[in-house]
Each structure stands twice: as structure tokens, then as C-alpha cells.
Structure 1
Amino acid sequence: MAGVATSGRQRSRIAPYLMILPALAYLAVFFVVPFFSLARTSLSSTAGSVYMPTLTFSWNFGNYTDAFTRYQDQILRSFGYAISATLLCVLLAFPLAYVIAFKAGRFKNLILGLVILPFFVTFLIRTIAWKTILADDGWVVSALDAIGALGSDGRLLSTSWAVIGGLTYNWIIFMILPLYVSLEKIDPRLIEASKDLYSSNTRSFTKVILPLSMPGLLAGSLLVFIPAAGDFINAEYLGSTQTTMIGNVIQQQFLVVKDYPAAAALSMVLMLIILAGVLLYTRALGTEDLV
């Protein structure tokens, strides 16, 4: 009996590790191996022709120096656009998520369906649609021009505003849904209690609703900022040569110039900056309730 009990305890200790083994194998094959391959490429040198380049691992840290010096503007622009799009997503998504969670009533599922419905269309088609909407001969430009809201060039397309708008539209769904989930978990009686204690609407929001919705705000911010920083589709179709993002440079270096070490170094720089920013951001806001 003692042997059976010991065997049972051993199996119970091994079982959790066996359960996570498939996930670990998946991460090893599709994340760890490609990451080390990318890191190795970023420290390599290239030789041969453009059509048949050969890579030689040589600890070439000059690729990283070139990444910062040659493409500093694109790096800063990418993070500036990503931060702007994230802030816009917060400002637009929070009121919508609040209305769905507390005010929609029996129309809650309908509104959620309408929010999600456009995102059944592929990312590329949605971006091209925005190119049509913001075209120089479109109704949006005509309406804004009529009220004098456009600049001297009278354009929206091929501007920074168009790129930021495209990023905001394409990623806002990842802000709405986490915020909605966090807001729906809030007990309405807590808000009523704050009103009973003579709190104004503003104070109830800052002291009750905002702190309790912070997990959704944190998750939504990360889900918007990270892909927006590496995006290249919006800058390609809605921007110009003056709005190029680092994703466009990486795509060109990989597929057109075929300078694989430079492209890999830029990718590593982008990942490391995003990782550092995410760690600082989560440390500042806390992740205890982020589940």
C-alpha cells in the first residue's frame, strides 16, 4: 500500500509538467528557435550578390549601430504613432465600453456584435477602404475643407494623421473588448454606494470605475501599442515617404534589398525597445489583477 501511495504521489508531481509540455514544445519550436535564428542573423555579415546573398556569423555588432544611426527617425516615428494611436483608442473605447457594460441593457449583445462585425473583414481590405475614404476627392476631405479644418495642402491622405487614424481604427477592437470585460465585472452597487457617500460623477469615476477597470486598460494598451509599433500596412497605404515606420524599413530590407543582417538587427532593436517599454509600463501600473 505504501508503494502504491508513493507511486501516486510521484504521478501527481509529474502530471503538471506533462500538461505544460505541449505548450513548452510549441514555444520552443515557434518562438525560441526563430528568436535565436534572428539574433544570429543580426550579428552576421553578408557577402555575394543581391540575388544570392550568403551569411557568415561574425559577431558584427555594427548592424545594431547602423540600425540606430540610419533609422533613428523611423524608430522614433513608429513609437510616436503607436503611442498616439493607443491614447486615441483609450479615449474612444472607454466611453463605448462603459455604455455597453452599464447602459446597453438588452441591446448589449447587438452592440457588441456591431463592434466586432467590421473586423471579420481582412486587415488589408479595411486599410484600403480607409484610403478610399480619405482620398483627396472624397466626401471627408470635402467636408473638412468646407469648414476650414484642413491645412494649407488640403489633404488627409499621405499624412501622419491618416496613418495614426488607420492604426487607431485597425487596433481599437483590442482596446474595446478588454475594457468591456473589466467594466462588466464591476458591481454596480459600488458605484451606487459612492453616490450615497455624496461623490460626484467625476469622483465616482476616478475613485471607483477607473481603478477597477485598470486590468482591462493595461491589457488593451499593450494589445494596441505592441502591434501598432511594428505595423507597416497603414504607413504603406495611408502615408508617404515622410511617414515611413520602422516596419516598412524592415519589410524593405528583408524582401527588396535582401540585407538580412540589417533587417534582423532592426527587428531585434524593435523587440528590445518594446520589451523594455512594456516592462516599465506594467511595473508602473501593476499586474496583480491582470487575469
Structure 2
Amino acid sequence: MKKFRQLVIPYLIWSVLMLLVPMLLIAMYSVMSDGNSIVPFQLTIHHYVRFFTDPDFVLILWRSLVIAIKTTIICLLLGYPIAYYIANSEEKKQNVLILLITLPMWINMLVRTYAWIGLLAPDGIISWLLGLIGIHTELLYTEKAVLLGMVYNFLPFMILQIQTALSKMDKSLLEASNDLGADRVQTFIHIVFPLSLSGVVSGITLVFLPAVSSFFIPKLLGGGQFFLIGNVIENQFITVGEWNFGSAISMIMAVIMMLLMMLVRNIEKKGAVQGDRL
């Protein structure tokens, strides 16, 4: 048993170097400022105060949360019926459908997002199709384009999580519900959805967290006119060169994400307890 424990050591070292050390460096930078010739640096909370006292940064944070919530809701509304259909299909058909869902994910997300620029351009296919039915509107470099890009990139995560939960569901519960006189709507509300709640919660986590911190999707499809918090962090590190302020924003987002994950875990535990009662 001790020999197997030793196999974990390389993974622990890798986790410390790739996760813990960078986070500690970011936390250190976030509470530091330039000092003088005697003291090279000083501890301060100025960067955090600056963020929360500047209405522009608070507005960008709120906008990021709102568009992440919109993305999550749309992915849930689209992903659940698709996952439900796949879970209730024959095994061979399930494999084909899952392959079709995951196939685009084999291509780099950045490349897929670039492809949407051509599709949403004024002379693109989507604009041309909308023009045929009399709809003339700008799609590229708008909030709609950013939202569409996020839904497209993150929807498979929602579908796969819910489909996995639905596939593990005990089918005898559905038969028992039918024998007791429940219709499909009642069966879904009282049996199917509670048992799939773990997949829903996991899907929400996998969609919301990357959506709220995404920076290249708003940058490409928003054309620099639609700034989210991820773009602000990128701008502080790469363009402005204010690593301390960028680190402070990163730490604020890390705390927000950890709080949301704790909330999601509590919801998942309550759903698991409810599922056990069934």
C-alpha cells in the first residue's frame, strides 16, 4: 500500500508547482506596491479599495456575472432536452449522438471562436440567412455575438453532465411512477428532475465558472467594445503592466468563484439527499 502512495508524490509536486505556487504569487502581488530605495515594496490593500470604489470596474464585474448567468440559463434550457433525448435513446444511437456533441470540442476553442467571426460578419452566412427572411441586424461585435459564442463553446459541458446523471437513473422508478398513475409531467417533476439534479449542478458549475472569467470570446466576438472582467485582467497584465492591480482583480474573482462553488456543493448535497429519499 505504501508503494502505491508513493505514486501520488509526482502529482502532488506538479499540483504545488502549477496551482499553489502561482496562486500564492498572485496573492502576494495583490497586496504589494512599489516602495522606495530603502524598502523595495510595501504591503497595501489599495488595489482592492481601488477596484470596489471605481464604478467602472464594479459595472464590468456585474456585466460579467450577468452574461455568465444568461449563458448558464440558455445552456440549461437547451442542454437538458438534448441530454434527456440522448439518455432515452438506444445505446448505439447514444454513442453516435455523444460523438456528435463532443466532436467540435476536438478543435481548439480559439479556432472555433474565430470561425464565428466569419459566420456573424455582415457578409457571413448567418447574416445572409437572416436577410432572406427580412431581418437586418448587426450581429458581430455585439453582446448577442458574445453570448452566442459562449453558449456554443460551453453547451457540451452542460449536455454531457446531465446526460450522465440521467443515464445512471434507475428506470424502475419511472415504471413505479407510471403504475401509480402519474403522468409524464408529474414523473418528470417528482422523479426525473430530482434524480438528475447532480448533473444539472455539475453542468452549471462547468458553464458558469469559465463563462464569468472568459476573455478571448468577448475580445474576438465583441471586437473590444464589450469588456468583461477577464478582459480587464488580461489588459492589466499585458497592456497596462499593472501586475499588482491585475493580481488583486484575479484574487477577487477567485474568491467569488470559491464562494459559488461552495454554494453549488451545498445544493448538490441537498439534491443527493432528496434523491436518496426517492
Distance 1:142 1:47 in 2: 58
Cα distance, 1:174 vs structure 2: 1.2
Q: 1:264 to 1:99 in 2, by over 3 A?
A: same
Counterpart pick for 1:39 among 11, 27, 36: 27
Residue aligning to 2:262? 279
Residue aligning to 1:30? 18
Q: Are positions 1:217 and 2:200 aligned together? A: yes
Distance 2:131 2:43 in 1: 55
Distance 2:223 2:60 in 1: 12
- Superposed, 1:1-291 pairs within 5 Å as 18=6, 20-46=8-34, 56-68=40-52, 69=54, 70-147=56-133, 154-286=137-269, 289=272
Cα distance, 1:143 vs structure 2: 3.4
Other structure's SS at 1:45 match: strand
* Aligned 8 A contact 1:127 1:234 in 2: yes
Show CA shifts across 1:194-217 (max 9, x none): 111111211111111111111111
Show CA shifts across 1:196-249 (max 9, x none): 111121111111111111111111111111111110111011114442111111
Other structure's SS at 1:58 match: strand
Other structure's SS at 2:88 match: helix
Q: 1:140 to 1:103 in 2, by over 3 A?
A: same
Counterpart residue identity of residue 45, structure 1: S
Structure 1 vs Structure 2: percent identity of aligned residues? 33
The structure with more radius of gyration: 1
Distance 1:134 1:72 in 2: 30
Counterpart residue identity of residue 221, structure 1: I
Distance 2:131 2:260 in 1: 39
* Aligned 8 A contact 2:194 2:271 in 1: no
Counterpart residue identity of residue 66, structure 1: R
Counterpart residue identity of residue 86, structure 1: T
Distance 2:14 2:217 in 1: 31
Number of corresponding residues: 269
Counterpart residue identity of residue 68, structure 2: A
CA RMSD of aligned residues (A): 2.4
Cα distance, 1:286 vs structure 2: 2.1
Unmatched runs of 5 consecutive residues or more in structure 2 = 274-278
Cα distance, 1:285 vs structure 2: 3.8
Other structure's SS at 1:244 match: coil
Other structure's SS at 2:43 match: coil
Distance 1:47 1:165 in 2: 45
Scaled by the length of structure 1, the TM-score of the pair is 0.84
Unmatched runs of 5 consecutive residues or more in structure 1 = 1-11, 49-54
Deviates more, 1:263-272 or 1:171-180: 171-180
Distance 1:42 1:34 in 2: 12
Scaled by the length of structure 2, the TM-score of the pair is 0.88
* Aligned 8 A contact 2:35 2:41 in 1: no
Cα distance, 1:33 vs structure 2: 1.3
Cα distance, 1:17 vs structure 2: 5.7
Distance 1:148 1:192 in 2: 49
* Aligned 8 A contact 1:232 1:247 in 2: yes
Distance 1:104 1:95 in 2: 16
Other structure's SS at 1:141 match: helix
Q: 1:284 to 1:92 in 2, by over 3 A?
A: same
Other structure's SS at 2:121 match: coil
Show CA shifts across 1:100-150 (max 9, x none): 111244311111111111111111110011111111222322433554656
Other structure's SS at 2:33 match: strand
Distance 1:273 1:129 in 2: 32
Deviates more, 1:16-25 or 1:73-82: 16-25
* Aligned 8 A contact 2:215 2:231 in 1: yes
Distance 2:27 2:131 in 1: 49
Distance 2:222 2:154 in 1: 17
